[in-house]
Structure 1
Amino acid sequence: MKSNFLSTIKKKRWLLERNAKIFRVEEAKEFVKRLGLVSALSNEHLPSLAKAIYTADLPNRFEASQRLWDFVHILITKKWVYYGRILPAHNTIVSMELLPCFLHLYPIPDYRSLYEQRILSEMGKQVMDLLHERGPLMTQEIRNQLGISSLQTRKELAHALVELQRKSLLCCAGKVAQCRCRWRFGIWAPVDKWVPRKIKTKARALSDEEAKRRIIDKYVYTAVRTTPKAIARFFNWSLKEIDSTLSSMIDKEVVSSYNHQGEEYLFKGNL
């Protein structure tokens, strides 16, 4: 299959063509819903929301970046998408339709248990205790509440915020403007408090097989063409884990496959 043909399909699905761009937040919501997994910025494996949004009317990259993050934070605030480190190495925008699948396979951990196991820092626990007690807060509000003023404790807090995101304990809950300033400030929330109850209910109702099938289904469509090895590598699964799922999906024609020079390729939709 010729690479220029695959490139054309990718441009259409990822909205990379000049005459097919996102102008409104509602269109961004549909973009994420259709593809399931989207990167905010550039990513080799996932479509980029930054590249899909129309910015030709803006004077510079700074303004383009502002439009991107305004869109992202509106999507988050309305709970139209989830944005966080749902995958170990990626901050990813996830559709609310696909989020239950990830929460089933990667349940939200109990931060108190992690702390007791000594795999969560003291500062991380303090932040989580505060957010559970007070609700979503901005970074400055966390500093004030915890009495953080020294350079050392500010560094510890910055490290803790990254640590909590990596452990899927903390997510961005949107942004707010302060004092009539154009700058917006991020709000942090515990993942288990931010995720709607109905999403958690859907996650519990899924089987491992169904959760993986839905994720793979979206990823194959989004990637345009991929391989079992690439899927396993991206989601940090073993080939053995997904072999039966892929076989079932191919047998039921949920995805299609072909062999080229000894390598099995998967695709979904018309190529």
Structure 2
Amino acid sequence: MSLQSNVLDFTDNEIATYRARTFRSLSELRLRSREDAITFVNQRGFVLFWPAQGIVMPSLWVATAGDRPVADAHDDPGHICWDWKDSLLGKRIWYYARVIRGKNTLIALEALPYFYTLSPNYGDPEHDYLDQYHEGLLTLEAKQVYEALLREGPLDTLTLRRTAHLSSPESASRFERALTTLQMQFRVLPVGTAEVGAWRYAFVYDVTHRHFPDLIVQAGRIQEDEARAYLLRRYLLSVGAIPFSHPMRLFGWNEIDMQRAIRRLERDGYPLKRGLRNTQSAEEWIACPEFLSS
């Protein structure tokens, strides 16, 4: 890295070298056991389950199988991460659901309250969803799915579809969209699997506040700017440096949210760096001090 005209330039190779360590794509850093996977998620704060196009984040797959496409072959050694994930559903070891950009995400319990603070939950999950529905911010299908779980308790996917009156073939896509929305809003999550359906495999879902009863109180102690600052710092520690706009797309923030998160980090004494330029990009980049000193 070199400092020229007060602009710090860095190469793609320097970014790749940093991420090879934090993403654990190096062969000597690969995950070998379920305990390794738990440690990895706790270190990073939040990771994807599978890598996703257009999202720069660590993933359990890459940390287990290396930086290669997800294999179609069921017996690929990398698919052991599927067993780790399923065996820990409902164990309250981490939080697993479709969260970031609607993708399967693993969140460390330390980071979970910060995500929940920024969710559309206001401390009364038994009733808040109705306000959101009446304001047109929650679909009828999402309301039906959520109410089925509130009323009946944990349900496997097939039973949930029937109970929510969405079991017809033409309602399949609407059910999946509703389920994704509710997961992204931290209202429901998978807590186990059941041997049902043609594949003898389906998730069992429950409402978040019942499965994590302390989460509302934990999140209530955190301010929104504090939550965004925390998530931004943890994200930068994983990726090292990133274009300024990327965290906003990742977390669904606007520029005001992003600027407030940065100011909060600065007030807290975290020396985040701005105004950086990558050698092959004209967009402003931001970086964590750990990357600049590596």
Once residues 288 and 32 of structure 2 are traced to their aligned partners in structure 1, the CA distance between those partners, rounded to angstroms, is 29
Bigger shift: 204-213 or 88-97? Answer: 88-97
Instruction: Name 1:197's counterpart in structure 2.
Output: 213
For the aligned residue pairs, the C-alpha RMSD in angstroms reads 3.2
Alpha-carbon spacing, 1:204–1:248, altered in 2? closer, same or farther (3 Å): closer
Once residues 200 and 137 of structure 1 are traced to their aligned partners in structure 2, the CA distance between those partners, rounded to angstroms, is 22
Alpha-carbon spacing, 1:163–1:249, altered in 2? closer, same or farther (3 Å): closer
Instruction: Name 1:174's counterpart in structure 2.
Output: 192
What CA deviation, in whole Å up to 9, does each residue of 1:33-55 have, x standing for no partner? 11112011113311111111259
- Residue 6 of structure 1 pairs with residue 15 of structure 2: yes
Alpha-carbon spacing, 1:135–1:230, altered in 2? closer, same or farther (3 Å): same
Which residue identity is paired with 2:205? W
Once residues 206 and 275 of structure 2 are traced to their aligned partners in structure 1, the CA distance between those partners, rounded to angstroms, is 46
The CA deviation at 1:19 is 1.6
- Residue 219 of structure 1 pairs with residue 230 of structure 2: no
- Residue 265 of structure 1 pairs with residue 286 of structure 2: yes
Which residue identity is paired with 2:179? L
- Residue 97 of structure 1 pairs with residue 115 of structure 2: no
Once residues 172 and 286 of structure 2 are traced to their aligned partners in structure 1, the CA distance between those partners, rounded to angstroms, is 48
The CA deviation at 1:235 is 2.0
Alpha-carbon spacing, 1:177–1:232, altered in 2? closer, same or farther (3 Å): same
Alpha-carbon spacing, 1:129–1:9, altered in 2? closer, same or farther (3 Å): same
Which residue identity is paired with 1:139? T
Instruction: Name 2:3's counterpart in structure 1.
Output: none
Instruction: Name 1:63's counterpart in structure 2.
Output: 75
* Alignment equivalent of 2:63, drawn from 36, 43, 52: 52
CA contact (8 A) 1:111 1:169 kept: no
Bigger shift: 215-224 or 99-108? Answer: 99-108
- Residue 210 of structure 1 pairs with residue 231 of structure 2: no
The CA deviation at 1:254 is 2.0
* Alignment equivalent of 1:24, drawn from 33, 36, 49: 33
CA contact (8 A) 2:226 2:264 kept: no
What CA deviation, in whole Å up to 9, does each residue of 1:187-241 have, x standing for no partner? 11122323x2223211000112221221111011011112433323322223333
Alpha-carbon spacing, 1:2–1:198, altered in 2? closer, same or farther (3 Å): same
* Alignment equivalent of 2:169, drawn from 151, 161, 165: 151
Count of matched residue pairs: 267
Once residues 118 and 222 of structure 2 are traced to their aligned partners in structure 1, the CA distance between those partners, rounded to angstroms, is 9
Alpha-carbon spacing, 1:186–1:12, altered in 2? closer, same or farther (3 Å): same
Instruction: Name 2:24's counterpart in structure 1.
Output: 15
Once residues 153 and 60 of structure 1 are traced to their aligned partners in structure 2, the CA distance between those partners, rounded to angstroms, is 28
Alpha-carbon spacing, 1:151–1:106, altered in 2? closer, same or farther (3 Å): closer
- Three-state SS of the structure 2 residue aligned to 1:77 is coil
Which residue identity is paired with 2:203? G
CA contact (8 A) 2:117 2:220 kept: yes
Once residues 8 and 171 of structure 1 are traced to their aligned partners in structure 2, the CA distance between those partners, rounded to angstroms, is 35
Q: Unaligned regions of 5+ residues in structure 1, if any?
A: none
Once residues 160 and 261 of structure 2 are traced to their aligned partners in structure 1, the CA distance between those partners, rounded to angstroms, is 44
- Three-state SS of the structure 2 residue aligned to 1:73 is helix
Once residues 152 and 189 of structure 2 are traced to their aligned partners in structure 1, the CA distance between those partners, rounded to angstroms, is 15
Once residues 147 and 90 of structure 1 are traced to their aligned partners in structure 2, the CA distance between those partners, rounded to angstroms, is 25
The CA deviation at 1:20 is 1.3
> Percent same amino acid among aligned pairs?
21
